[in-house]
Structure 1
Amino acid sequence: MTNPVLDGLARARHTAVHLEMRDAYQPDDPEFLAWQRGKRLDPAADRSSWWRPFLDVVAETTARGVVMRRARIVSEPVTEYITYEYDVTFPNVAAGELIRWLPRRKAADIPLPGTDLWMFDGEAVLFTYFSGVGEVVDREWRTEPDVLKLVGSAFEAVWERATPHEEYEPV
């Protein structure tokens, strides 16, 4: 079974943007559960202790010259899951991904798509639909010009207002 995100990244020529808008994902994620039990990634430790297979894809994609940007819209105070995401973001940055955080109250006047997404080269959007608890239930590719315009403008507005990962402090 192919992974549509990996397929999109493999085909991307210039840009890949990822907009995340939930405060929790996959509550039964083994890495999140391990983090809840006290496991922490150490950037000073051997890279193999915190490198994940997805990061190989990120590194390969950015090495091809594709600019990868991820923006996260989060409620403040942040949830435990967002604290976890913040703690495990440094490997993505090390792999070449640019990541920013935007408190939800600063996004209130931005017209946003109704769900998380990836957009590749401004030509195709992959929407991800979640259950109420954050499990992926479906994905859908869209290429209509009005959808691309909405997603592109929403992402750029979020990106402009958001704080780079290195400067953001979860509240």
Structure 2
Amino acid sequence: MNSIPEFAELLAATTKSAVHLEMRDAYYSNPRFEAWQDGGRVDWDDRASWWRPFHQDIANAVDRGVTIRRARIISEPVTDYIRWEHYQTRANLEAGEHVRWLPRSQAWDLLVPGSDLWIFDGRLMRAHHFSGDGEWISKELCDDPAVVDQHAAAFERIWERAVPHDQYEVK
């Protein structure tokens, strides 16, 4: 595939499901994360201050009947970045996502993909590539049914074992 559509375009074309797998303990620099490190907290009553176009894209898809699940494989004790992600996951939940956490120590016997990814309707996968320090490198799209099915099966095994967000306590 030559051109890779933006996430919003892929999600807008999704009719049934989207799953997202995240496996890094830290990602690229983020001003919201840095503000949180400095003691800044979200005013959850002021939705305009934290609601982003991404959240609206998720909410629009959920309103169309799309189920969106996000699983995060994490190391424990967690990094500050994961502690912040756990804190700000409320925004994902309010947009309509289902989020689960799987400690890496509980995933040791699972075969997991080599990259973070999204799978749309079980037929199209977008893999995300990051540098060692979490900086964004590239993305690629795959519609090979055998490859997408392998990754979808891996996601399902991770999802089954992962802890729902409201039951996971950061350590």
What range is the shorter-chain TM-score in?
over 0.9
User: 1:151 corresponds to which residue?
Assistant: 151
User: 1:22 corresponds to which residue?
Assistant: 24
User: 1:163 corresponds to which residue?
Assistant: 163
CA contact (8 A) 1:74 1:104 kept: yes
Normalization by structure 2: what TM-score? Answer: 0.94
User: 1:129 corresponds to which residue?
Assistant: 129
User: 1:51 corresponds to which residue?
Assistant: 51
Amino acid at match of 2:27: Y
* Distance in 2 between residues matched to 1:81 and 1:46, nearest whole Å: 23
Percentage of matched positions with identical amino acids: 50
* Distance in 2 between residues matched to 1:93 and 1:64, nearest whole Å: 16
Amino acid at match of 1:88: Q
CA contact (8 A) 1:112 1:150 kept: no
The ranges of structure 1 where at least 4 consecutive aligned residues each deviate by more than 4 angstroms after the TM superposition are none
SS at match of 1:169: coil
Amino acid at match of 2:150: L
Aligned residues: 169
RMSD of aligned C-alpha atoms?
A: 1.4
User: 1:96 corresponds to which residue?
Assistant: 96
Offset of residue 75 of structure 1: 0.3
Offset of residue 143 of structure 1: 1.3
* Distance in 1 between residues matched to 2:36 and 2:5, nearest whole Å: 25
User: 2:12 corresponds to which residue?
Assistant: 10
CA contact (8 A) 1:115 1:128 kept: yes
CA contact (8 A) 1:25 1:81 kept: yes
Offset of residue 145 of structure 1: 2.1
SS at match of 1:13: coil
* Cα deviations by residue, 1:27-63 (Å, 9 ceiling, x for unpaired): x2111111111111133x2222222221111110100
Unaligned runs of at least 5 residues, structure 2? none
SS at match of 2:166: coil
Normalization by structure 1: what TM-score? Answer: 0.94
Amino acid at match of 2:127: F
SS at match of 1:25: coil
* Distance in 1 between residues matched to 2:138 and 2:113, nearest whole Å: 16
SS at match of 2:73: strand
* Cα deviations by residue, 1:100-146 (Å, 9 ceiling, x for unpaired): 00000111111111010000000010000001111111100011122
* Distance in 2 between residues matched to 1:35 and 1:53, nearest whole Å: 20
* Distance in 2 between residues matched to 1:41 and 1:167, nearest whole Å: 21
Offset of residue 153 of structure 1: 0.7
Unaligned runs of at least 5 residues, structure 1? none
